[in-house]
Structure 1
Amino acid sequence: MNEEKSRRMELRRQTGTREVAKLELHLKHRGPEYLIAFACFNCQKSFKKPAPDKHVKYKCNECRLPLYMMGRNFTAPRKGNSKQWKKVQWLYAYGFRFLGSGLHDGAELPKKLSDLKSFLSENPNHPLRVADIDEFMLKELLANEK
Protein backbone atom coordinates (compact mmCIF):
# COMPACT_ATOMS: atom_id res chain seq x y z
CA MET A 1 0.00 0.00 0.00
CA ASN A 2 2.88 2.36 0.76
CA GLU A 3 4.39 1.73 -2.65
CA GLU A 4 1.12 2.61 -4.37
CA LYS A 5 0.84 5.83 -2.39
CA SER A 6 4.43 6.80 -3.24
CA ARG A 7 3.75 6.11 -6.95
CA ARG A 8 0.64 8.33 -6.94
CA MET A 9 2.51 11.11 -5.12
CA GLU A 10 5.26 11.01 -7.72
CA LEU A 11 2.68 11.25 -10.53
CA ARG A 12 1.11 14.27 -8.84
CA ARG A 13 4.49 15.94 -8.49
CA GLN A 14 5.22 15.37 -12.19
CA THR A 15 1.88 16.80 -13.29
CA GLY A 16 2.20 19.78 -10.94
CA THR A 17 -0.84 19.01 -8.81
CA ARG A 18 1.22 18.26 -5.73
CA GLU A 19 3.00 21.61 -5.48
CA VAL A 20 2.30 23.40 -2.24
CA ALA A 21 1.91 27.12 -2.67
CA LYS A 22 4.37 29.16 -0.66
CA LEU A 23 2.81 30.82 2.30
CA GLU A 24 2.85 34.58 1.95
CA LEU A 25 2.53 36.61 5.07
CA HIS A 26 0.79 39.92 4.70
CA LEU A 27 1.69 41.71 7.87
CA LYS A 28 -0.41 44.76 8.48
CA HIS A 29 1.16 47.71 10.19
CA ARG A 30 -0.74 47.94 13.45
CA GLY A 31 0.61 51.24 14.65
CA PRO A 32 3.77 52.29 16.40
CA GLU A 33 6.00 49.78 18.08
CA TYR A 34 5.64 51.62 21.36
CA LEU A 35 4.43 54.88 22.81
CA ILE A 36 6.55 57.49 24.53
CA ALA A 37 5.56 59.68 27.48
CA PHE A 38 5.26 63.40 26.81
CA ALA A 39 4.66 65.96 29.53
CA CYS A 40 2.89 69.29 29.68
CA PHE A 41 4.44 71.22 32.55
CA ASN A 42 1.75 73.89 32.35
CA CYS A 43 -1.22 71.50 32.82
CA GLN A 44 0.82 68.98 34.85
CA LYS A 45 -0.30 66.13 32.62
CA SER A 46 1.40 63.31 30.78
CA PHE A 47 0.38 61.85 27.43
CA LYS A 48 1.52 58.72 25.60
CA LYS A 49 2.23 59.43 21.94
CA PRO A 50 3.99 57.64 19.06
CA ALA A 51 7.65 58.42 18.54
CA PRO A 52 7.61 61.63 16.49
CA ASP A 53 9.26 62.34 13.19
CA LYS A 54 11.70 65.22 13.17
CA HIS A 55 9.01 67.57 11.89
CA VAL A 56 6.24 66.57 14.30
CA LYS A 57 5.76 68.75 17.38
CA TYR A 58 3.05 67.58 19.75
CA LYS A 59 0.91 70.09 21.61
CA CYS A 60 -1.10 69.69 24.79
CA ASN A 61 -4.78 68.92 24.21
CA GLU A 62 -5.84 71.51 26.78
CA CYS A 63 -3.47 74.50 26.74
CA ARG A 64 -2.00 73.97 23.24
CA LEU A 65 1.54 74.56 24.57
CA PRO A 66 4.32 72.21 23.41
CA LEU A 67 4.65 68.76 24.95
CA TYR A 68 8.09 67.65 26.05
CA MET A 69 9.34 64.16 25.25
CA MET A 70 10.24 62.55 28.56
CA GLY A 71 10.98 58.98 27.49
CA ARG A 72 9.41 55.55 27.83
CA ASN A 73 10.15 55.15 31.54
CA PHE A 74 8.66 58.42 32.71
CA THR A 75 6.09 58.18 35.47
CA ALA A 76 4.22 61.42 35.90
CA PRO A 77 3.65 62.86 39.37
CA ARG A 78 0.10 63.40 40.53
CA LYS A 79 -1.58 66.41 38.95
CA GLY A 80 -1.71 68.54 42.11
CA ASN A 81 1.84 67.79 43.26
CA SER A 82 3.49 71.02 42.08
CA LYS A 83 6.82 70.37 43.80
CA GLN A 84 7.29 67.04 42.02
CA TRP A 85 6.30 68.56 38.68
CA LYS A 86 8.77 71.40 39.26
CA LYS A 87 11.49 68.81 40.05
CA VAL A 88 10.71 66.93 36.82
CA GLN A 89 10.81 70.18 34.86
CA TRP A 90 14.24 71.04 36.33
CA LEU A 91 15.50 67.58 35.43
CA TYR A 92 14.20 68.04 31.88
CA ALA A 93 15.83 71.47 31.60
CA TYR A 94 19.16 69.94 32.63
CA GLY A 95 18.92 67.27 29.91
CA PHE A 96 17.56 64.29 31.83
CA ARG A 97 15.33 61.90 29.87
CA PHE A 98 13.70 58.77 31.16
CA LEU A 99 15.04 56.40 28.50
CA GLY A 100 16.19 52.82 28.41
CA SER A 101 15.09 50.01 30.65
CA GLY A 102 15.19 52.06 33.83
CA LEU A 103 18.30 50.21 35.00
CA HIS A 104 21.49 52.24 35.01
CA ASP A 105 24.73 52.60 36.95
CA GLY A 106 24.09 56.19 37.98
CA ALA A 107 22.78 57.53 41.23
CA GLU A 108 19.08 57.33 41.92
CA LEU A 109 17.15 60.42 40.86
CA PRO A 110 16.23 62.73 43.73
CA LYS A 111 12.93 62.06 45.47
CA LYS A 112 12.38 65.66 46.59
CA LEU A 113 12.79 69.06 44.98
CA SER A 114 15.01 70.14 47.88
CA ASP A 115 17.55 67.42 46.97
CA LEU A 116 17.75 68.46 43.34
CA LYS A 117 20.56 71.06 43.46
CA SER A 118 22.98 68.78 45.28
CA PHE A 119 22.06 65.89 42.94
CA LEU A 120 22.76 68.00 39.83
CA SER A 121 26.14 69.17 41.14
CA GLU A 122 27.19 65.66 42.24
CA ASN A 123 26.10 63.89 39.01
CA PRO A 124 27.22 65.89 35.97
CA ASN A 125 27.66 62.70 33.87
CA HIS A 126 24.58 60.77 34.96
CA PRO A 127 23.48 58.10 32.40
CA LEU A 128 20.00 59.64 32.09
CA ARG A 129 21.47 63.04 31.25
CA VAL A 130 21.42 62.52 27.50
CA ALA A 131 20.24 65.84 26.08
CA ASP A 132 21.68 69.32 26.01
CA ILE A 133 20.61 71.82 28.63
CA ASP A 134 17.43 73.61 27.59
CA GLU A 135 18.62 77.20 28.13
CA PHE A 136 15.21 78.74 27.45
CA MET A 137 13.42 76.55 30.01
CA LEU A 138 16.23 77.04 32.50
CA LYS A 139 15.90 80.84 32.24
CA GLU A 140 12.14 80.56 32.80
CA LEU A 141 12.63 78.35 35.85
CA LEU A 142 15.22 80.70 37.33
CA ALA A 143 13.00 83.72 36.68
CA ASN A 144 10.01 82.04 38.36
CA GLU A 145 12.15 81.08 41.35
CA LYS A 146 12.79 84.69 42.33
Structure 2
Amino acid sequence: MEIRIKIGNRAVGGFESSISVSNAEYRIAHACFACRKSWKLSEDSAAICPQCAGEAHHMGRSFKAPKRTDEEQWKKVEKLWRAGFRFPTNTGWYEVAPYPERLREVDEFISQNPDHPFRVKNQPSPRT
Protein backbone atom coordinates (compact mmCIF):
# COMPACT_ATOMS: atom_id res chain seq x y z
CA MET A 1 0.00 0.00 0.00
CA GLU A 2 2.89 2.36 0.74
CA ILE A 3 4.12 1.99 -2.84
CA ARG A 4 0.65 2.84 -4.20
CA ILE A 5 0.53 5.95 -2.05
CA LYS A 6 3.98 7.07 -3.24
CA ILE A 7 3.20 6.63 -6.95
CA GLY A 8 -0.27 8.20 -6.61
CA ASN A 9 -2.50 5.16 -7.17
CA ARG A 10 -3.93 5.42 -3.68
CA ALA A 11 -5.52 8.66 -2.53
CA VAL A 12 -5.21 9.39 1.16
CA GLY A 13 -7.05 12.26 2.71
CA GLY A 14 -9.64 13.38 5.14
CA PHE A 15 -13.24 12.30 5.01
CA GLU A 16 -15.45 14.65 3.06
CA SER A 17 -19.17 14.14 3.12
CA SER A 18 -21.52 15.50 0.51
CA ILE A 19 -24.45 14.94 2.87
CA SER A 20 -25.48 17.87 4.98
CA VAL A 21 -27.47 16.80 8.01
CA SER A 22 -29.11 20.19 8.47
CA ASN A 23 -30.26 20.26 4.85
CA ALA A 24 -31.18 16.59 4.54
CA GLU A 25 -34.25 15.97 2.42
CA TYR A 26 -36.43 13.28 3.90
CA ARG A 27 -38.63 11.24 1.67
CA ILE A 28 -41.98 10.25 3.10
CA ALA A 29 -44.17 7.43 1.82
CA HIS A 30 -47.26 8.65 -0.02
CA ALA A 31 -49.95 6.36 -1.41
CA CYS A 32 -52.62 6.64 -4.07
CA PHE A 33 -55.59 4.51 -3.08
CA ALA A 34 -57.08 4.65 -6.59
CA CYS A 35 -53.93 3.25 -8.25
CA ARG A 36 -52.93 1.16 -5.21
CA LYS A 37 -49.34 2.37 -5.48
CA SER A 38 -46.91 4.06 -3.14
CA TRP A 39 -44.01 6.47 -3.70
CA LYS A 40 -41.52 8.17 -1.46
CA LEU A 41 -41.82 11.90 -2.04
CA SER A 42 -40.01 14.78 -0.41
CA GLU A 43 -41.89 16.67 2.28
CA ASP A 44 -41.95 19.80 0.12
CA SER A 45 -43.17 18.20 -3.10
CA ALA A 46 -46.77 18.36 -4.23
CA ALA A 47 -48.66 15.28 -3.08
CA ILE A 48 -49.90 14.25 -6.51
CA CYS A 49 -49.97 10.70 -7.78
CA PRO A 50 -47.51 10.40 -10.69
CA GLN A 51 -49.75 7.71 -12.21
CA CYS A 52 -53.26 9.24 -12.25
CA ALA A 53 -52.60 12.82 -11.07
CA GLY A 54 -54.93 12.19 -8.12
CA GLU A 55 -54.11 12.89 -4.50
CA ALA A 56 -51.14 11.05 -3.01
CA HIS A 57 -51.79 10.67 0.72
CA HIS A 58 -49.05 11.23 3.32
CA MET A 59 -48.62 7.84 5.01
CA GLY A 60 -45.54 8.23 7.20
CA ARG A 61 -41.90 7.22 6.97
CA SER A 62 -42.42 3.53 7.82
CA PHE A 63 -45.32 2.74 5.52
CA LYS A 64 -44.90 -0.52 3.63
CA ALA A 65 -47.34 -0.76 0.75
CA PRO A 66 -49.25 -4.00 0.22
CA LYS A 67 -49.05 -5.76 -3.13
CA ARG A 68 -50.99 -3.89 -5.78
CA THR A 69 -53.25 -6.90 -6.30
CA ASP A 70 -54.13 -7.24 -2.60
CA GLU A 71 -57.36 -5.22 -2.58
CA GLU A 72 -58.33 -6.18 0.98
CA GLN A 73 -55.08 -4.83 2.42
CA TRP A 74 -55.36 -1.61 0.40
CA LYS A 75 -58.91 -1.12 1.71
CA LYS A 76 -57.63 -1.73 5.24
CA VAL A 77 -54.82 0.81 4.81
CA GLU A 78 -57.22 3.38 3.33
CA LYS A 79 -59.70 2.90 6.16
CA LEU A 80 -56.96 3.34 8.77
CA TRP A 81 -55.65 6.45 6.97
CA ARG A 82 -59.11 8.03 6.76
CA ALA A 83 -59.52 7.42 10.50
CA GLY A 84 -56.31 9.38 11.09
CA PHE A 85 -53.80 6.57 11.56
CA ARG A 86 -50.33 7.09 10.08
CA PHE A 87 -47.22 4.94 9.83
CA PRO A 88 -44.37 6.70 11.64
CA THR A 89 -41.17 5.00 12.64
CA ASN A 90 -41.94 3.06 15.82
CA THR A 91 -39.01 3.93 18.07
CA GLY A 92 -39.85 4.33 21.71
CA TRP A 93 -43.48 3.25 21.28
CA TYR A 94 -42.99 -0.41 22.04
CA GLU A 95 -46.23 -0.83 23.98
CA VAL A 96 -48.47 0.54 21.25
CA ALA A 97 -51.39 -1.56 20.02
CA PRO A 98 -50.37 -2.99 16.63
CA TYR A 99 -52.47 -2.22 13.60
CA PRO A 100 -54.98 -4.93 12.63
CA GLU A 101 -53.97 -7.63 10.18
CA ARG A 102 -57.34 -7.91 8.39
CA LEU A 103 -59.93 -5.48 7.04
CA ARG A 104 -62.69 -6.99 9.17
CA GLU A 105 -60.76 -6.03 12.34
CA VAL A 106 -60.33 -2.34 11.47
CA ASP A 107 -63.64 -0.95 12.80
CA GLU A 108 -63.11 -2.56 16.20
CA PHE A 109 -59.49 -1.36 16.28
CA ILE A 110 -60.52 2.23 15.49
CA SER A 111 -63.19 2.27 18.20
CA GLN A 112 -60.83 0.75 20.81
CA ASN A 113 -57.94 3.15 20.08
CA PRO A 114 -59.22 6.74 20.07
CA ASP A 115 -55.98 8.03 21.63
CA HIS A 116 -53.50 5.86 19.74
CA PRO A 117 -50.16 7.74 19.49
CA PHE A 118 -49.99 7.20 15.71
CA ARG A 119 -53.42 8.74 15.16
CA VAL A 120 -53.61 12.28 13.87
CA LYS A 121 -55.99 14.36 15.94
CA ASN A 122 -59.00 16.26 14.54
CA GLN A 123 -59.63 13.93 11.64
CA PRO A 124 -63.03 13.86 9.95
CA SER A 125 -65.06 10.74 10.57
CA PRO A 126 -63.87 7.88 8.33
CA ARG A 127 -65.68 6.94 5.16
CA THR A 128 -66.84 3.40 4.90
Q: Sort the TM-score into its range (normalised by shorter chain).
A: 0.7 to 0.9
What are the equivalent positions in structure 2 for 1:1-146 lying under 5 Å apart? 32-52=24-44, 56-101=45-90, 104=93, 105-135=95-125, 138=126, 141-142=127-128
Higher Rg: 1
CA deviation string 1:38-97 (max 9, x = no partner): 000000000011112xxx532111111010000101000000111100110011101111
Task: Give how far 1:35 is off.
Answer: 1.0
CA deviation string 1:11-54 (max 9, x = no partner): xxxxxxxxxxxxxx9967697432110000000000011112xx
Distance 1:107-1:80 versus aligned 2 partners, 3 A rule:
same
What is the distance in 1 between the residues matched to 2:49 and 2:17?
36
RMSD (Å) for aligned C-alpha atoms = 2.4
TM-score by length of 2: 0.75
**Number of residue equivalences:** 111
What is the distance in 1 between the residues matched to 2:106 and 2:58?
20
- Residues 71 and 97 in structure 1, CA contact (< 8 A), matched pair in contact too: yes
| SS at 2:54 equivalent | coil
- Residues 47 and 58 in structure 2, CA contact (< 8 A), matched pair in contact too: no
| SS at 2:80 equivalent | helix
What is the distance in 1 between the residues matched to 2:55 and 2:83?
18
What is the distance in 1 between the residues matched to 2:65 and 2:124?
20
Instruction: Name the one with the larger helix percent.
Output: 1
Task: Give how far 1:124 is off.
Answer: 0.9
- Residues 73 and 102 in structure 1, CA contact (< 8 A), matched pair in contact too: no
The letter of the residue matching 2:110 is L
